[in-house]
Amino acid sequence: MAAAVTLELLIAFVPSRLSEFIRLGLQQLVEGFLYAASPQILELFIDYFLI
C-alpha cells in the first residue's frame, strides 16, 4: 500500500518539476534575448524616428 502511494506521489511530482524546469529555461532565454536586444532596439528607435 505504501509503495502505491509513493508511486502516485512520484508520478504527480515529476511532471510538475519538469514543467517548472522548462518554464525557467524559457524565461531565462527570453530575458537573455531582451537584455541583448534592448540596446539595439533603442538605437533603431533613435536612428529612424528621431533623425
Q: In total, how many domains does the chain have?
A: 1
pLDDT, tens only, 4-43: 767 777 777 777 778 888 888 888 888 887 777 777 777 7
Q: What is the pLDDT of residue 2?
A: 65
Q: Decide if 43 is inside a domain.
A: yes
For residue 41, the enclosing domain spans: 23-51
| DSSP line for the chain | -HHHHHHHHHHHHHHHHHHHHHHHHHHHHHHHHHHHHHHHHHHHHHHHH--
Q: What is the pLDDT of residue 20?
A: 85
- The model's confidence at residue 51, banded by pLDDT at 50, 70 and 90, is low
Q: What is the pLDDT of residue 21?
A: 83
Q: Decide if 35 is inside a domain.
A: yes
Q: What is the arithmetic mean of pLDDT over 42-49?
A: 75
Q: Decide if 38 is inside a domain.
A: yes
